[in-house]
Chains A and B, each alone.
Chain A
Amino acid sequence: MVRLLLALLTAALLAPVASAQLAPAGERHIAIDLVAESDRPAPGSEVTLALVSKPDAGWHGYWKNPGDAGIETTLAWTLPAGVTAGPLEYPVPHRLLIGGLMNYVYQGPFTQFVTLGIPAGLAPGTALPIKVRADYLVCTNEICVPETRELETRLTVGDGAIDPARRADFDRWRAAMPKPLGSPARYAVADGMFRIAIPWPADAAAADPYFFPLAASGPSFSAPQTVRRAGDLLILETSAQGAGPPRIEGVLSVGDGNGFALTAMPGAVPAGDAPQTAGFDVALALTAFAGAVLGGLLLNIMPCVFPILSLKALSLARAGEDAGAARAEGLAYTAGAILACAALGGVLLLLRAGGEAVGWAFQLTDPRIILVLLLLVTAIALNLAGVFELPAPGAVNRLSARGSGGAFATGALAAFVATPCTGPFMGAALGTALVLPWWAAMLVFAGLGLGLALPFLAIGLSPALRRRLPRPGPWMERFRHILSVPMFLTALALAWVLGRQAGVDGMTLGLAAALLLALALWWTGSRQTRGSSRAWVPGAAAGALALAAIVLVERAPADAAPRVAALGAQPFTEATLARMQGEGRPVFAYFTADWCVTCKVNEKTAIETAAVAEAFKSGGVQVLVGDWTDGNPELGRFIEKHNRAGVPLYLWYAPGSATPQVLPQLLTTSMLTRLPAPQAAAVGG
């Protein structure tokens, strides 16, 4: 016992000393390994050496052209006689603008290559000690440190065999190197502008293309580059910096770390079409637009939107035959829906540009917005139920009021609450939108709004349609009361989402706020029936008080243990998926979020049914669940890879198939039970 205590004491005393020794004064900020593709290169052959570099967090290394400041890496070799070292080859760099100065850098791990030539005629077994001194610069956004280090490795002349694991590493590192473009580019400098025409297929995508010049003269490093297309040319334009040398070498980066090495000579550069921010396909944009309109149209039958639409239709029916007013209301509602969709889409694009992993309905991941919606929907439901009537003033309060202002607000509201009801066509359309140039993406978002507004617009514009609406009468009041039911259900769903996001306390707070609002509106209603001139005073006060609950709502800490649904499902990770595929098991992966009504419907009606459980069990199907409720960025990236901007997303990985089958966003039991069938048949046969 005493001995144990002594040992512990000694360990405690020694620990600080040991850690102090681990951080010597000359600590380096990039770890570099020198790795040869083959440790036993054949005589008369070439072998690639890799300088595998890992900058510390917050530090970056430099490309060959460091940009406005910095220096490139220099190598001084000590090689056995006859062995030659080629130039240092760099992977595709990144841009880092600090204080208006451009740095071409690597902010994460990066690997440079050098090709060694092994002379012919060396006897197998000959030792080849390789030594190199590397001088390089490593910086944070604030400070720079030039570092020097000696690296060495020992090769032995042999048969050139390559270890499979090392081959995989080199494959990965090579993928980060720029590929040769093959055909030369042309550049021109005129009127202070540098323009370069790079051969690039008209139908090939290029995400955020950027030309990294190796020359110190030609394009400015720090000025932004605008992108145009002209047939099979990609035209980049930026400020000039000097007249440009006879040839400019450089790397065109086209997103996802892909780059192409090219050489540009002076020559004519066509004007090109309107500037673009990304590769673009008109047909794709039109298809996405059509999909968005259709998706928006379908949203009208969703439980959260239908009452709003019905309400507006009723108010038009009430308007009778006044064609002018009906048209104005229809147009205002359309404008409201389109603008709200475009605004949400704009915010989505801005967040995307800022690097956030967000998808459609992102605004519903914030419990405060859920609370506001809960109160709003509660008020609408109470209004539909006839508890109180709405007076003329107020923006959203004029829900059932006539006039284009109220119609505009209603359209905007419909679009806002409709977003969680991601319809079957919407996911695909929005997924497309995110890879389109911003203006085309906005067109898609606007299309969604247009689709949402279409039925009401049609009623507003067509007197014939309006005449087919039922005659106004006492039945309308009753219909309105019935419509309050789906609205109350929506409120219930929102309360549940709030509970998921903000915990029991948050949900209770939300329900208390809703109750307070309901009582106040009831009071308002009774004052209204008495004809009180200030009927709204208690309602407004309580409404403000209820809204004040926003400050108190906080996101509850995420569940430590991931939710595991029925069916023996496991939480989705790409590693788990790979493991399951490796085991040859069929995998059904689904992505859901608590704020996604369609997801919940699919889960209740199709996924979590006895028939599916039975079919999946007998087929040996592994179910993986990705819960995107809190906007997990890894899941966001995975979901986006399948061209969807949100959930639900259903993927079926047949055994031995690397690429999944993307299932429709509206599932049926039979659709799911059929999935493992080929597998079962194969087993049976």
Chain B
Amino acid sequence: MKAKHWMLPGLAAIAAFALPATVPLAAQQTTGQKAGNFALTDMNGRTVRLSDFKGKTVVLEWHNPGCPFVKKHYDSGNMQKTQAAAVAGGAVWLTINSGAPGKQGHMAPAEARSLFAEQKLRSTNYLLDPKGVVGKGYGAKTTPHLYVIDPQGTLVYQGGIDDKPTANVADIASARNHVTAALGELKAGRPVSQAETRPYGCSVKYPEVA
């Protein structure tokens, strides 16, 4: 009853992402097609629509402050740095929380505001999606899970923040930051070379009874 021989675990993820164009991943939004519009309430109680940012590159980031994989990128400052660079390059960065009330990471607007200040988020805005409607509409599965939408409204990237699916801060330095790479390629007028990757992290804490 000798079991099958899988790839070496440590190499598996790297091998998967090293394949050209990688393995496409399913989502509710199709890469290369128009990203679905949505309206959400932000941490200040205002309604924010994706269509408000027509003509600009938009990054969507799914967030859960309690998730260790999110902490990996915030405690190290990696996510803030990526946000700052994106915003400096003219992009809009929307951090979205789809945690259901009562579940880990769910935040009321006031909590979101103080977390935004404390952790020095550099994103354009923090949006609340407690019913998970937008999260499910985009097929967001993990925190973090990232999406890049070009100025024409086309979804050009969806997947993980980088290619090292671990909770270890030390892995950030050697990882390929998919979002930074996609934004750079977009700016240079080139197609996004890795348009879909496998996101990693905690599951998005959607309400039960899906």
Contacts and interface: CB of A to CB of B under 8 A. Distances in A.
Interface stretch (A95-103, A379-387, A651-659): A95-103
A75 B66 CA distance: 25
Interface stretch (A35-43, A161-169, A214-222): A214-222
The number of chain B residues touching the other chain, given as a range, is: 35 or more
B205 A142 contact: yes
Contacts of A242: 23-26
Interface in B52-69: 66-69
A524 interface: no
Given A101-B204, A217-B23, A249 B4 contact: yes
A137 B10 contact: no
B103 interface: yes
B165 interface: yes
B20 interface: no
A69 B103 CA distance: 16
Contacts of B66: 143
B68 A216 contact: no
A581 interface: no
A142 B104 contact: yes
A217 B205 contact: no
A174 B1 CA distance: 7
A390 interface: no
Contacts of A245: 23
Given A69-B141, A100-B210, A242-B24, A86 B204 contact: no
A88 B25 contact: no
A75 B10 contact: yes
A89 B8 CA distance: 10
A68 B203 contact: yes
A87 B204 contact: no
A131 to B, nearest CB: 15
A217 B1 CA distance: 27
Contacts of A142: 103-104, 205
Interface stretch (A176-184, A493-501, A600-608): A176-184
B6 A135 contact: no
B28 to A, nearest CB: 11
Nearest to B67: A144
A69 B142 contact: yes
B141 A72 contact: no
A101 B166 contact: no
Q: Which secondary structure dominates chain B's binding surface?
A: loop
Contacts of B210: 97, 99-100
A218 to B, nearest CB: 9
Given A178-B3, A180-B2, A261-B4, A99 B9 contact: no
Interface stretch (B76-84, B110-118, B183-191, B194-202): B194-202
B189 to A, nearest CB: 27
Given A69-B204, A146-B68, A241 B168 contact: no
Contact of B6 (A144, A179, A214, A217): A214
B5 interface: yes
Contacts of B198: 216
Contacts of B104: 142-143
A101 B3 contact: no
Interface string A92-133: 000001111101000000000100000000000000000000
A525 interface: no
A69 B26 contact: no
Contacts of A144: 67-69, 202-203
A72 B12 contact: yes
Given A87-B7, A101-B203, A146 B167 contact: yes
10 contacts: A69-B202, A89-B6, A90-B3, A99-B208, A100-B136, A142-B205, A144-B202, A216-B16, A220-B26, A242-B23
Interface of B: 1-10, 12-13, 16, 23-26, 66-69, 100, 103-104, 132, 136, 141-142, 165-168, 198-208, 210
Given A64-B12, A87-B5, A142-B103, 16 more contacts: A68-B142, A69-B204, A71-B167, A72-B12, A75-B9, A76-B10, A98-B203, A99-B204, A99-B208, A101-B141, A146-B69, A180-B4, A216-B25, A217-B26, A241-B26, A243-B24
